[in-house]
Amino acid sequence: MSDVSADDAREATACGYTEYVDGEVPEGFPKTGVGATGVEADIWDALYEIEDPEMPVSIVDLGLIYDVRVVEREGEDGETKTLGIVEMTLTYTGCPARDYLENDVQCAILAAGVDEASVRLRFTPEWTVDMVTEAGREALREFGLGV
């Protein structure tokens, strides 16, 4: 966690109707790909290259990626195919960059060398600003946003 306590952040909040700090980070989040190996690690690396369209911070450091896995399945032609699956969330449901991000993630999965890619949206657990990693916080601070 950062050196900014939840209480400090609340006091610094300008708008009474927006909560910038919203409780606890569920266990195991944010996911950063630590310990991933092989093609899954390559997918994580590619995901780190994708930045949020509004801020110069990786979507991994924003805490948007919930799972990366590669499975094998039999294609229609009987050949074994590799399928890369990324589960991710959005900061809010109406995110106008949804298609853009899904497409970037799709490309990142394929770039890691799998046969097929699947991007699945998940909204549990709910994303909060507390899911931003320490590296993400630094990138945001440098950009001029206090988190």
Partner 1 sequence: MPDALNPEDLDAEQRAALEELLFRLADDEYVHGERLIEWQIYAPTLESDLALANVAQDEFGHARLWYDLLEELGHTEAELIWERPADEFRHATLVELPFAEGDWADVVLRSYLYDAAERLRLDALVDTSYAPLSDRVGKVLSEERYHLENAQSWLDRLAEGDSRDRVQDALDRLFPHALSLFVEPEYEDAIVDNGFRTMSTADLRIEWLETVIPYLESLGLDVPEPDEVERPSARGRDGTHTDHWDELAAEFRRTYDELEAPEPARIGGERV
Q: Which residues bind partner 1 (CB under 8 A)?
A: 17, 92-96, 98, 121-124, 126-127
* Closer by beta carbon to partner 1, 39 or else 121: 121
Shortest distance (Å) from residue 121 CB to partner 1: 8
Shortest distance (Å) from residue 40 CB to partner 1: 23
Q: Of 130, 133, 147, nearest to 25 (Cα)?
A: 130
* Closer by beta carbon to partner 1, 92 or else 100: 92
Shortest distance (Å) from residue 93 CB to partner 1: 4
* Closer by beta carbon to partner 1, 44 or else 66: 66
* Closer by beta carbon to partner 1, 38 or else 96: 96
Q: How many CA atoms lie within 13 A of 111 on its CB side?
A: 16
Q: Which residues contact 120 (CB under 8 A, 6 or more apart)?
A: 85, 86, 87, 88
Shortest distance (Å) from residue 141 CB to partner 1: 26
Q: Of 122, 48, 37, 43, nearest to 84 (Cα)?
A: 43
Shortest distance (Å) from residue 139 CB to partner 1: 24
* Closer by beta carbon to partner 1, 3 or else 27: 27
Instruction: Kindly list the distances between the CA atom of residue 19 and the CA atoms of 8, 23, 121, 129, 130, in Å, as whole numbers in the listed order.
Output: 13, 10, 23, 10, 11
Rg (CA), the chain: 17
Q: Which amino acid is at 4?
A: V
